[in-house]
Amino acid sequence: MPEYVDGFLLSVPKNKLPDYRRIARKAGKIWKEYGALDYRECAGDDLKIKGFVNFSSAAKTKPGETVVFSWAVFKSRKHRDQVNAKIMKDPRIAAMGGECEKLFDCKRMAYGGFTTIVQV
């Protein structure tokens, strides 16, 4: 059965990346505690590649912001749904909500679930 991936794309002010990293580390531990197979948070580094739509445009970054590209891996979509249901009930996640809103604009965050079609 192919793995399932939740993907996130958001813009974070560069000067707030240390705070974002602290919260992301906590969140990742919670995701893994409930069963995620992997959890990654990556800050943009090389985003202006000629000939391609760049991540900065896709994430609608403003001056002073960078892109954060994140994902969590699950056994299947059913497993993802079960894990996320538990995560959303966890009071630690609720407590982080206010912190996240201070670090980035949730309305500009892109999120989606993806079925793995190739894994090498």
Domain that holds residue 82: 4-115
Give bridge partners of residue 39 from the DSSP assignment.
72
Q: Is residue 120 part of a domain?
A: no
pLDDT tens track for 33-70: 999 999 999 999 999 888 998 899 889 999 999 999 99
> pTM for the whole thing?
0.90
The count of structural domains within the chain is: 1
Q: Is residue 15 part of a domain?
A: yes
CATH number of the domain bearing residue 30: 3.30.70.100
Residue 83 burial (CB < 10 Å; 0-12/13-18/19+)?
A: buried
Q: Which pLDDT belongs to residue 104?
A: 86
Annotate 37-67 with DSSP letters as a single string: SEEEEEE-SS---TTS--HHHHTT--TTEEE
